[in-house]
Every structure is written in structure tokens, then in C-alpha cells.
Structure 1
């Protein structure tokens, strides 16, 4: 957000508080000149100055959030997401005339209204090509960049991209930190409109399902051009949003021949004009089909065009998704021709690649699907790109057009390939590499011991950043695989993926994603009647619900844990009991949490599970602290420190120190309390655990307040809120409320900030 936006928010807040510039200066200690410069959009405040102003204005939590967000100094990012302008673009004079008419209409009225164009037509007709070419032609008039997204409205999975997911990508491209991107679609849409309000951007919303999918993605700025492509005519968007419809039909015969000549050479078409004309006619003048034919012919320069005509005539049956009144249209034959030109190994690879359920596929995932080594997979991918059966997106991932994907799946069924084995390898790739990535990225110790099946690519991960990069790369693939690979024989493998991805979802603050993933895993575990998986999935779901403030909903997974507890091995029960104690404590049902905490400790002591014993001691100590037994808390946590030190668990030593600090504070020993809290914070910072840092800062703030240091308490609660917000933890609001409830400092105690 720019300085003017911050100034507007500050001025409105001051006016709502009925304060003059002089009044606000007197209360906050900030000079009149400094405040005036801020309100006029000339400067932004330092953090301490902003805090003084917000305290003086007595703002609520939402108003504070808006001011803090507006005060961040950001480098204005100019996204460049458009795919390359197709070098072989030909024809479309009428469509381009209509497109430029839309742009000219906007310019004629001085840019006074939102400009939306809805490009509609059948699959493969070239909607995306036209939209991208048009966007490139007018890009110079939109200096703030271009955004592009494939909304996957018409794909075999029938799972269009959620508007919230698309908005998340747009906000990231516009430079919004992930910690500031809200989880809800409506909130993301509002933030997107806010961030684009003063920009001149081009948005290309490709392959939309319907108007409802598109509406949340529309900017409010009159300086933006939005181009939507869809097989749907989007009449609702035209009627309600004033979108200008641009209908796209197949090429004219002349346009189709010109496009073919651009791909295979003008001389070949001149040498066999009748064959060239019949080739494009047999393609139904469909741009996608002509492109595939052109790619194949260009790779066989000595092949007469009449032979291509003969193959297209004889090929049957036709691709169902592109059946038209003209019986000469046979897109499946075109795909078949290109497919048969592949080497045997690449043809097999293509069939397996088509099984990938996500919008884009990495080379490693593709290799795992096909069960081949990564170098071989890269060679096959290159061959498929050369044959125009595959493309790459801006991030280097590989993308199959929906019709090509459908064709590949049909081929796999015809060839009787082992689909189950391929999908098993994909799921095991997502599970096993997540297990490796977790060791570096999340410090999560896996409970799963299943070895991946043969043929799964092992990604080299040697650092936290590499682990996080891998998770980010495969986010969409994991989500799609868990949702869409529906063979009942895959249930166990899907459970493994959901459980191994839990730690990353927690670290990244992806709690919404974790809730639905845990539910999928829990449902699968119940179908399999696997008590161990039920308990693990139930633990993960209960935590995700509690972290998002949905405490009541956590009762269901907790009940399932308790129902199946007697069926799991004894050595796993301590952890299960401890997780129930944790959930009940977060629900503030401490008397119910207590017996589960005691049973967890008893089991761990009996089985001499040293690590679990240390964790159970810490958990039980916390519950007892909440119940007022502070001396017992100190004794248990001091024992936990020794046990956790034996097993090398520094993070949970920090938790024990935090509990000790809290208990000492309750007993009135503030010196010991501060010592415990500071020891805990040092450990959490060393192990890079922002969640525990936020909890420790909450305790530390209370200690500062008891000692009378209001400003230190306020600073600690604010920092705690920031950390919780970055992780999308619901308790952030509680921390902000605590900070806001503190009395304002006396203005004379603060120097004037110029």
C-alpha cells in the first residue's frame, strides 16, 4: 500500500476520534509536522511512532491491523505472468478488431469504467492464444504488469480451481507476504481489490468454468483490463458486470492454411495446395488440431502431405470431447498421429503422465508416475514438448492440455497399463519425499515406517530451504492426489500423504488445507478400520481445529481417538492420551485434560519411553499450572528438562522452561519467572520455532505487566500477535486485544518524534 493510503487511514482515524493535529500530537508525543506529513502521504512512520499514534487514537483491532499493514514499506512488484506471445499467431482479424475495440472504448471515456472482455468458444479453438496475443499487443498501456491464471474450468477431473487459490497466487505475485494473505476467499478478494485499486494491470483469467468462478477475481480498478476465456459464454458476466463478449469460432480455411504454412513451411503448402486444404479441413479448422498436425509434419519434412490426409481420413473413432456436426473433424486421429511418432518409451511415459491429477506436474512427479529414472523422464518430457503434446508454465512445470490429457488416459486404458501401480508411485513420491523434507524444514519426526514402492524418485534435500521449496512445488499435486485418486486400494497411501504433510501445513500456517486433508485421511482410516491411522488423523484434525479457533468441532476427532484408543498398540497410547490432553486444555476444559495427561505419563514411565515421558511431563505440568498447582508444575517440568536433555529435544526443553516461568510468576517469584521465560525464548529462537515464541511472549508480557512495565508488556503481546498471525493462528486476536487493553502511556514520558 502506498503512503497516500496510509495517510488517508490515519486522517480518518484522527477525525473519528474528534482530535485535531495538535490534540493528537499532545497525546501521542509525535510532532504536528510529522503527523501532517504522514496524513498528506509524504512519509511513513517508524514502528514505535506508529504504536504511539495507534495508542493515542485508541483504535480497535481491525483499525490497528489496517494501519500496520498500510505502513509497511514495500517495493512495488510488477508481475510478468503472461506466457510468450505465440510466434505462429495468424489470422483472427475480426476477433482482434473486436478486442481492440474494447480497449479503445475504455480509452475513449477516459478509463472511467472497469473493462472486462469475455472470450468464449469451443475447446481448442484458440481462446488462450488470442487472449495472450491481445494482452501482449496492449501491454505497454498497462505499466503495472500482467497476471495470468488457468482456472481449470473444463478438465477431466471436473474440479475447477477455487477462486481463493487463484487469488492467493495473484496476491503473492503482487508482493503480498504469505503471512498477510487471509485464508477466506472473500477476504482474499477484498485484499486483491485493495492492492489493485491504483494499478493499471492486465488480467488473463483463462479456462473459466462460469461467471461465479470469475467474479471474486475481478479487480475494481478502472485502469485494469480483464480478459476471461471460457467454453461457457459467460452470459451472467456480460449481463451483470458489463463484460464485452467476443465469440471465437474456428479458423477460416485461409487462416488455417496460413497457420499450417507458418509451422511446416510455405513451400510445402504451395507444392500440394489441395492436400494442405484438405488437411486443415480434416482438422475442422480447429487451431489445436492444426498445431499438432503442423508439429508432426515439421518433424518429418520429407513426408508428402497427401499421406497425412490419408491417415486422417482413415482414423476412427473420434475424440468424444470435440465431436461436431462435421464428421471430418477427428482430433483423436491428430493426437494419434503425433502419439505414434513418439518412441516406444516416450509413448508409455506420455500415457502415465496423463494420470497426474494436478494442474501442472514436476519432472520428479512425472518420473515417479512412469516409474523411470529422472534423466530419462527429462528426455521424454523434452520429446513431448517437441511434439506439441506438452507445454511448460512460467515456473518450469509441465502442463498437459485437458484434451491431450483425456486422450492419454484413454490410451492407457486401451494399452492395459497398470494404472494402480502408477498412482501408487505418485502417492508414495508425495509421501516419502515429504518425510525427507520434514527432517530439514519442520523438525517433524515421522511416525510412519512404510517404505515407498519401487520406481519412486528420491529428491535430494539437504537444507530447510530446499525442503520448503519442495513442499511449495508439490502443494497442488498433493492436494489433487489426495482428493482425486479414488481407487479404494489407494486409501492407505492417501492416508500416508495426509499425515506426512501435516507438519508443513502447520509451519506454513495452512490450517484450512490441513483441516480438509486430515478429514480425508480420517475418513479413509475409518473405511479401512485402521485404528492407528484413525488416532493419528484424529490428532491432526483436532489440532488444526483448535489452532483455528474451532474448539467445539474438535470434540468429534477427540471422541474418535478415545473410541479407538484401546485398539492401538500400547506403545502408541501415551502420545494419543497426550494429544487428547492438549486438545482439552486448549478448549479450556482442564479438569478433563488432567486424567489424560496423567495416563500419558503413566504409560510412558511404564514402558520407559524416555522422549514421550519428557513430553508427557511437560504437558501435564501445563495442565496443572492451569488448575493452580504451580509447585507441582515446577517439579514435573524440572524433571522434564533432564529427560528431554537426555534425548536432545531442545524445543520441548523450551516449553518446559516456559511452564516453569509461568508457575513461578503465579507463585510471586518474578525474578525466577523472568529467568524461565527468557530461557524459553532463547531456545525457541535458536530452533526457529515461531509458534512457541508467540506462546512464550504471551507469558513474558504478563510478567512485565505484573512488574509494572506496561510498554514492555504491550511490545511482547504485539510481537506475539505478529507471530501467531503469520501462522494463521486464531490466538493472534487474543494477543492484540491484550495489548490494546493496556493503559496508554503518559504523553510526557515520550520524546517528540519528528
Structure 2
């Protein structure tokens, strides 16, 4: 698809809806000029903009899918390594003239002198507009920082009491800056050092939102002297001043600012017609920006309601603001929330309560629908309604965000209305489990056994490609981590034990070993509490693999010992899987004789079970360890036995790996023609499996064989092709392949068992 195709779809959908450019702009919040540029094929929308357009056009699921497919940029069309992570700015931003004048002076001073500029909203009050000011400021000066913007919600004040770990924030930043996920270091210090290296010569805006304290933000400062760092926090963070930070304090609006903001949202004529009522409304909101925005949204939805009637209803709703004094840790805006909440349709109100149970920083439409047990059309309708009511906002990736005060209010309502909290959380966890199992099919590592049907009300996401599967995993990964940490009801223990089993492929493919270690420890703890040996061993195996990948040998050994100590408690199939995992860990530790022993044990068990598919997989593993021990003839014989079985079962990735293993052995036996043919077959099959990464690895092996044959032209061509494939996934190995092509260096490393 290209820009012209997206423009055609957008224009046709707008015309079918009988909308002019102006009316679509008003309904979506996207400017007329931007829509016109898209329709003419001059630009493509960002994800948040795309969703606003699709919602305004009220597209069905099939139409939405076509829009998303057509909006995907072609390789090289966008500067992929220039991050654009800022949330959307507020079109009706008003007030804060004094604060804006000061921060713009700071920006000019900082960029002129090459210094860092930090803003910290020190009023200490939730809902005062710290994020809104910082985002508005960042958008206004973004053109001065051509290398992009980074944003993270540090979740410093959520009720869970678990602020975002700086290492996790750094991981997201590094990925956004082009570091392949598999090459992101494990520790905070190592990630911080790489982040400073990557930002040293860049001009970036870095917005650290909702920081807890100085310790949390310390590792997140970029090194570039041309970078602008913005921090928002309810705490003063006075310690940053010693590091040259400039502190800008925010309090509630003045009366005049609040009235100006109200008029911008509901119309100056309406406020001018009832000036006393308008003034009383903002007083009842305590001049708190969040409260004024919510009241204004409700008034905009009911233009026929006189302001004096709204004042009376708001006064009668419940307790007025009673925690607006300086230093308060939480503002009580229940009256404003309650007034807006009671105006919601009953179904949307119930949806809102369920939405408040979501544990992550942001929620996808599919996860929201699963929590509430609704269909996707209903979910999107409710989300639009809540966004219009200012009870929800959107982030740069089009996920929906609840302000933590609004979330806390929603949770209170869940308790009051006696909603089935446990059932909603179970649906969310089942959504994460079931769709991960389906997505695995596109990663070539489908778990044995079916996922079973999802629970009633759980959304099944339509996935058609590997990239769509990876996008789904990336979108929901923060939800998995948050759910495992916070959903600790005993009734969910089994979900915690099994949830990440279907996430192993994603962690492996993307190299997110640190994330896997964290989640697997939680799952292992749940398995230990339930005292289920098979689950204990499965989680120990995954944990050991991740630990071995990150060089944590001693702890990996402890997990292996735990597995071996429970072998007698397992059934044959689970025992075979455990033996294979132990073999893999030993192979990673270069203990090849031990690895061969465990892989052979797994193979023998699978032979007794008569599982040809699993048996063929184990043959490849055994063959690989034989090759590493120099027993090349045995490798060739065993893999040739396995390949017909793998081909019969359509196990593409393992068949491709087996051909690569045979080629590796034949090359070392001196059969360069045979090795070349094997590598070519492996390449062909990996191509059918859309596995470009492993294709590049095989091309590396092929190039060494071609070099040994004296065909330097073919070797150069293979290495350059490998470099292109690795560049497409932002792998640093691409540089080595290009260097090999130029210098025709030594042979590359082999892939090993998959």
C-alpha cells in the first residue's frame, strides 16, 4: 500500500459518510489541511491521528483493518530512527502565560548555552496540568530539536505503589533510538551508559512524566548538550536544582485562567450569557484544570442545559473539593467526577468501571473490551464517549490513558456497585494468554497443545502477518508485566502461573531477556505456591534459558538443578521437554557433552512416545551438538533422518535449521558443493517461513563456503544480502556482514538448534 491508496480510502469513506473536509475535521480533531494532505497522497497519519479519523468515520472492523494496512509506511519513507513519542497536544490550551514565558526563556537559554533544561511542577497536586503544560511546551519547541522526542510515564504516584523502574524506561528509549531489542543491556547502569552514548550528539526532547523522585529520573538524562529534558512530578525534586535544573512551580488556575479555559471549551457566548454561574462552576472545580476540563466536557455534551442548572446539580452531587491545600497527596474531585459519571449511559458507566481495573499505564481497545466483556464496536463507542467526556485521553501510540485520580474514582465505584472484579481480571488475563498463543503461530514457535476457546467476552484479535503479531505483543507487553505484579488475588494464581508460557516466543525473538526473567520469576512463584511440578519445571526452564542468555550462569545452574530434581514427578512428554531445555542451557554454556546427553535423553523419550514431530525436532538438536563436538558424519546422518519428518509436518523453521546444520557439518568435512546446496535449501525454507533474521545467519555460513571455493564474488553478494536483511531489523550484526563483504573476512558463527 502507499500514500495514494490511503488517500483514496479516506476520501471514499468521508464521502460515504456525507462529510465535508470541515465536518470531518470537527468530528476528529484533525485539521482540514492535514486531512486534505492525506487525501491527496502527500502524507500518512500517525497512529493516534489514524484512530481519530477511523472513529469519526465510524468504520467497521474490516474497514479499519484496510485503513491500518494502507497507512503503513514503506521502508525508508519515514526516518525510522527519529522517535515521535509525545502525546497529542491540547487544542484548547489556555492560560499559564507566566509559566510559558518562563519556560520559553529557559529553552532559549538552554539551547543557546548547550545546557540541560528541566521543569518540575512542584505544586504537588494531581490534576493541576503539569503534563499538559510540559506537552504543550514540547510541541511548541519541537522544531528546534530535529532528532525527535522521547516520552515516558514514570507512574510515580499510582495506587499500586510501583513506580516504573528506570531500567524499563531506558529500554524503551533505546529501542526507540534504534537499538535492537536483543541488544539492549540488562542492567540499569549498562542501559544508562548506552543511552548517554546514543544521545551524546543528538538534539532531542526527553519528557519524563509523573516522576516519583530524583533517584528515579537520575539515570534518564540524555548526554547531548543540545537536548531538552522536561520532568513533571508532584514532588518538588529540589535535589535536581543542584544539578543545574530550573524548577517551575504550578498551582491551580487563577479565577481568570479557569474562566478563559471554560469559555474555550464551551463557548464565550455561553459563559458571557451567565457570567455568575460560570464563575461559580470554576469555583466548585477548585480552579483545578482536570476538574474544569471534565465539567466543560459534560456541558459541551448538553448545550441546552443552563449553566445555573449545572451549578445546582454539581452542588448537590456530593462532597465538594476538600483536599486542595498545598502538599495534599490527592485531590478529592469526586463531586466533579460523579456529576460527569452520572451523565453517562448505563452501559458506558459499567464499561468505565471495568476500565479502571486495567493495571497498566495505558489500555488498548481490545483489552478494554475484554475487561468489560463487550464486543469491539461497543468498546470503541464507549471509549469515544469517555474520551469526549474527558475521562480518558490518548497517548502517542493511540492507547487510552486514565488519569490516576479518575482511575482511583473508578475503582471506588467498582467496590460500591459490587462489580465482579475477579471475573473482569480473569477475562483480561485470558485475553493476554489466548491471543499470545495465536500470535505464536506467526513466530514459528507455536506451543504444543491448543489454547482452547477463550472465555465469554474475551476479544480474539485478527492477526494476519508476523509484523501484526509482533505489534500486538509490543502493545500488550506492559499490561502483562503490570498484571503479574498487581493482580495477586488467590483466585488468579493459576493465570499467573501459566500466562507467560505463550509469551516465551516473543521474548526470545526480540531478545527481551530481562523482561522474561522478571515475569518468569513471578510465574515460578505461583507454580511453587500451587505445588505443580510440571508448571514449576516449565517456568524454571524458561527462566534458565533467559538467565543463560544474559550470562547469569550460577542462577541458571540453580534452575537446572531444580528441574533435574523434579524429573521423577513429570510425565514423559514434560520430562522430554525439560531434558531438551537443560540441553539448551548446557549448550549455551559450551558444555557440549552435557548438552548432547540431555538432548539424546529427550530424543529417546520422544521415540517411546511416538511423537514424530517432537522426535524430529530433537534429532536436529542432537545433530547440532554432535557437530559442535566434531562428529560431523553422525550429524549428517541424523539430520537426514529428521528432515523428511519435518517436511511432512510442515515444521518449516526446524526443517530450515536442520538443512543449515547439515551444511555446517558438510562444510567441515570438506564437501563444499554439498554444503552450498544445503545452505541454499535452508535459505529457501526460511524464506517461506518469513524468517529474515535466520536467513541472514545462513547467508553468513553460505558466504564462508563460497569463499572457501574461491568464489569471492558470490561470497560478497551473500554477505551484502545478509547485511540488508539484518539492517531491516536494526541488528548491529549488519555492520559485520558489510565488513566481511568488503574484506572477505573469516567464517561467521553458526545458528545452532532453534
Instruction: Evaluate the alpha carbon distance shift between residue 660 and residue 81 of structure 1 in structure 2; reply closer, same or farther with a 3 A threshold.
Output: closer
Deviation string, structure 1 residues 70-125 (Cα, Å, up to 9, x no partner): xx999586554444443333332332232233234347xx4343333333221111
How far residue 354 of structure 1 moved from its aligned partner, in angstroms, is: 0.6
Kindly report which structure 2 residues correspond to 1:229-308, keeping only aligned pairs within 5 A, or say none. Answer: 229-240=232-243, 242-308=244-310
State whether structure 2 residue 344 is matched by structure 1 residue 352.
no
State whether structure 2 residue 184 is matched by structure 1 residue 205.
no
State whether structure 2 residue 369 is matched by structure 1 residue 367.
yes
What's the counterpart of residue 134 of structure 1?
137
What's the counterpart of residue 98 of structure 2?
94
What's the counterpart of residue 584 of structure 1?
586
What's the counterpart of residue 105 of structure 1?
109
How far residue 202 of structure 1 moved from its aligned partner, in angstroms, is: 3.4
Kindly report which structure 2 residues correspond to 1:164-243, keeping only aligned pairs within 5 A, or say none. Answer: 164-171=167-174, 173-174=176-177, 184-240=187-243, 242-243=244-245
What's the counterpart of residue 509 of structure 2?
507
How far residue 174 of structure 1 moved from its aligned partner, in angstroms, is: 5.0
2:118–2:246 CA contact under 8 A, matched in 1: yes
Instruction: Evaluate the alpha carbon distance shift between residue 508 and residue 726 of structure 1 in structure 2; reply closer, same or farther with a 3 A threshold.
Output: farther
Instruction: Evaluate the alpha carbon distance shift between residue 166 and residue 319 of structure 1 in structure 2; reply closer, same or farther with a 3 A threshold.
Output: farther
Q: Alignment partner for residue 436 of structure 2, among 434, 437, 442?
A: 434
Kindly report which structure 2 residues correspond to 1:372-391, keeping only aligned pairs within 5 A, or say none. Answer: 372-391=374-393
Cα distance in structure 2, aligned partners of 1:315 and 1:330: 13
Instruction: Evaluate the alpha carbon distance shift between residue 524 and residue 697 of structure 1 in structure 2; reply closer, same or farther with a 3 A threshold.
Output: farther
What's the counterpart of residue 152 of structure 1?
155
Kindly report which structure 2 residues correspond to 1:605-624, keeping only aligned pairs within 5 A, or say none. Answer: 605-624=607-626
What's the counterpart of residue 605 of structure 2?
603
1:624–1:633 CA contact under 8 A, matched in 2: yes
What's the counterpart of residue 648 of structure 1?
650
Residue 118 of structure 2 aligns to a residue whose secondary structure is strand
Residue 247 of structure 1 aligns to a residue whose secondary structure is coil
Cα distance in structure 2, aligned partners of 1:259 and 1:744: 66
Cα distance in structure 1, aligned partners of 2:301 and 2:380: 20
2:88–2:395 CA contact under 8 A, matched in 1: no
Cα distance in structure 2, aligned partners of 1:743 and 1:467: 37
1:522–1:538 CA contact under 8 A, matched in 2: yes
2:183–2:511 CA contact under 8 A, matched in 1: no
How far residue 186 of structure 1 moved from its aligned partner, in angstroms, is: 4.1
How far residue 671 of structure 1 moved from its aligned partner, in angstroms, is: 4.6
1:322–1:331 CA contact under 8 A, matched in 2: no
Unaligned runs of 5+ residues in structure 1 are: 1-71, 746-754
2:373–2:458 CA contact under 8 A, matched in 1: yes
Instruction: Evaluate the alpha carbon distance shift between residue 132 and residue 178 of structure 1 in structure 2; reply closer, same or farther with a 3 A threshold.
Output: same
Deviation string, structure 1 residues 643-686 (Cα, Å, up to 9, x no partner): 32332323323333333344445555555444444444443344
Cα distance in structure 1, aligned partners of 2:325 and 2:420: 29
Residue 246 of structure 1 aligns to a residue whose secondary structure is coil
State whether structure 2 residue 461 is matched by structure 1 residue 459.
yes
Residue 207 of structure 1 aligns to a residue whose secondary structure is strand
Residue 204 of structure 1 aligns to a residue whose secondary structure is strand
1:281–1:329 CA contact under 8 A, matched in 2: no
Deviation string, structure 1 residues 181-233 (Cα, Å, up to 9, x no partner): 55554454444444444444433322222222223332333333322211111
Cα distance in structure 2, aligned partners of 1:612 and 1:146: 47
State whether structure 2 residue 335 is matched by structure 1 residue 333.
yes
State whether structure 2 residue 410 is matched by structure 1 residue 398.
no
2:180–2:731 CA contact under 8 A, matched in 1: no
How far residue 272 of structure 1 moved from its aligned partner, in angstroms, is: 4.2
Cα distance in structure 2, aligned partners of 1:493 and 1:409: 22
Cα distance in structure 2, aligned partners of 1:714 and 1:433: 42
Q: Give the TM-score normalised by structure 1.
A: 0.79
Deviation string, structure 1 residues 471-494 (Cα, Å, up to 9, x no partner): 222222222222322212212223
Q: Alignment partner for residue 419 of structure 2, among 413, 417, 420?
A: 417
How far residue 177 of structure 1 moved from its aligned partner, in angstroms, is: 5.9
Cα distance in structure 2, aligned partners of 1:73 and 1:560: 50
How far residue 172 of structure 1 moved from its aligned partner, in angstroms, is: 5.1
Instruction: Evaluate the alpha carbon distance shift between residue 580 and residue 699 of structure 1 in structure 2; reply closer, same or farther with a 3 A threshold.
Output: farther
What's the counterpart of residue 17 of structure 2?
none
State whether structure 2 residue 168 is matched by structure 1 residue 162.
no
How far residue 467 of structure 1 moved from its aligned partner, in angstroms, is: 1.8
State whether structure 2 residue 497 is matched by structure 1 residue 495.
yes
Q: Give the TM-score normalised by structure 2.
A: 0.79
1:574–1:601 CA contact under 8 A, matched in 2: yes
Residue 120 of structure 2 aligns to a residue whose secondary structure is strand
State whether structure 2 residue 521 is matched by structure 1 residue 538.
no
Q: Alignment partner for residue 126 of structure 2, among 110, 123, 139?
A: 123
Residue 210 of structure 2 aligns to a residue whose secondary structure is strand
How far residue 455 of structure 1 moved from its aligned partner, in angstroms, is: 0.6
Cα distance in structure 1, aligned partners of 2:445 and 2:286: 57
Instruction: Evaluate the alpha carbon distance shift between residue 720 and residue 559 of structure 1 in structure 2; reply closer, same or farther with a 3 A threshold.
Output: farther
How far residue 348 of structure 1 moved from its aligned partner, in angstroms, is: 0.4
Residue 205 of structure 1 aligns to a residue whose secondary structure is strand
Cα distance in structure 2, aligned partners of 1:728 and 1:520: 31
1:263–1:298 CA contact under 8 A, matched in 2: yes
Instruction: Evaluate the alpha carbon distance shift between residue 324 and residue 446 of structure 1 in structure 2; reply closer, same or farther with a 3 A threshold.
Output: farther
Instruction: Evaluate the alpha carbon distance shift between residue 709 and residue 324 of structure 1 in structure 2; reply closer, same or farther with a 3 A threshold.
Output: same
How far residue 691 of structure 1 moved from its aligned partner, in angstroms, is: 6.0
Q: In the comparison of the two structures, how many residue pairs are matched?
A: 669
Instruction: Evaluate the alpha carbon distance shift between residue 672 and residue 303 of structure 1 in structure 2; reply closer, same or farther with a 3 A threshold.
Output: closer
Cα distance in structure 2, aligned partners of 1:537 and 1:673: 38
2:214–2:239 CA contact under 8 A, matched in 1: yes
Instruction: Evaluate the alpha carbon distance shift between residue 549 and residue 73 of structure 1 in structure 2; reply closer, same or farther with a 3 A threshold.
Output: farther
How far residue 610 of structure 1 moved from its aligned partner, in angstroms, is: 0.9
1:144–1:199 CA contact under 8 A, matched in 2: yes
Unaligned runs of 5+ residues in structure 2 are: 1-75, 747-754
How far residue 464 of structure 1 moved from its aligned partner, in angstroms, is: 2.1
How far residue 289 of structure 1 moved from its aligned partner, in angstroms, is: 1.2
How far residue 620 of structure 1 moved from its aligned partner, in angstroms, is: 2.4
Cα distance in structure 2, aligned partners of 1:246 and 1:203: 17
How far residue 457 of structure 1 moved from its aligned partner, in angstroms, is: 0.6
Deviation string, structure 1 residues 294-313 (Cα, Å, up to 9, x no partner): 22233233434444444444
- Cα RMSD over matched residues? 3.9
Instruction: Evaluate the alpha carbon distance shift between residue 522 and residue 106 of structure 1 in structure 2; reply closer, same or farther with a 3 A threshold.
Output: closer
Residue 236 of structure 2 aligns to a residue whose secondary structure is coil
How far residue 534 of structure 1 moved from its aligned partner, in angstroms, is: 1.9
- Stretch deviating more after TM superposition (85-94 or 347-356): 85-94
